[in-house]
Amino acid sequence: MNKIICSDYNEVCAAAADIFAQQLSLKPSSVFGLATGSTPVGLYEELKRRCSARELDFSKAHAFNLDEYYPIEKNHPQSYKAFMDLHLFDEVKFESTQIPNGEAADPHIECARYDAAIEAAGGIDLQLLGIGINGHIGFNEPNTVYPVGSHLTELTESTLIANSRFFGEGEKQPETALTMGLGPIFNAKHILLLITGAAKAQVAKKLFDGKLYTDVPACFLLLHPNVTVILDKAASG
Ligand code: PGA
């Protein structure tokens, strides 16, 4: 696990954008695994800036997002489809983008379709991850048994509380979601995990104390041969 500690959030975003840039220059048709949440917003801002300065070009690249609430309408302001359009895709054009379909009639068929699409694209070259305060990656929540493939999952109390800040009063927050499983995430050739803010210091500590806590899904990353973790000072304790 390659660990980079940056002084602040902006430096984390710039360092992460450099890794995206390296991946693109290596392979313009790269397949990127993308994430939502507040952590990657600054990275997406930086990618937009570099694209409008013509330093980067994603027009031959492909993107698969980690997860989506289920059920949720695509145009719901809190859908991850809407999030990605707002923060990246409206400005940065990819050859193709995919997000699990929160409107699918059958979530299990949708998850199987999603895994097949990732495989047909040749797997993910660079997978971006944030981390939940409970150690989740994507919506792979702490558990004793982990489905390998993409699946429908119930969100834990801790995730519901953490994400409730995005939902307005009276707005119904979905309690289930579709998530890429640990299998497709771990098939990525390179995984880039961003951990920022003091609230993540405790979970970051578990990642680096040389033990695999099975109730901290991010700890399984210790078994992947090519993981880069970028932390800010606050998260690194
Ligand atoms: P956050 O979420 O970036 O909003 O903290 C990360 C996650 O839940 O994976």
**Full pLDDT tens readout for the chain, 237 residues:** 999 999 999 999 999 999 999 999 999 999 999 999 999 999 999 999 999 999 999 999 999 999 999 999 999 999 999 999 999 999 999 999 999 999 999 999 999 999 999 999 999 999 999 999 999 999 999 999 999 999 999 999 999 999 999 998 888 899 999 999 999 999 999 999 999 999 999 999 999 999 999 999 999 999 999 999 999 999 998
- Give the predicted TM-score (pTM) of the model: 0.97
Q: Which residues have CB under 8 Å from 12's CB, separation 6+?
A: 6, 42, 43, 194, 196, 230, 231, 232
Q: Which is catalytic among the residues 68, 101, 125, 136?
A: 136
Probe residue for ligand 1, chosen from 131, 160, 195 as the CB with the greatest number of ligand atoms within 8 Å: 131
Say if ligand 1 is within 6 A of residue 132 CB: yes
- The response to whether residue 37 sits with its C-beta less than 6 Å from ligand 1 reads yes
| Dihedral sign computed on CA atoms, order 146, 152, 155, 159 | positive
156 burial via Cβ count (<10 Å: 0-12, 13-18, 19+): middle
Quick check: is 136 catalytic?
A: yes
3-state secondary structure of 79: coil
> Does the beta carbon of 195 sit less than 6 angstroms from any atom of ligand 1?
no
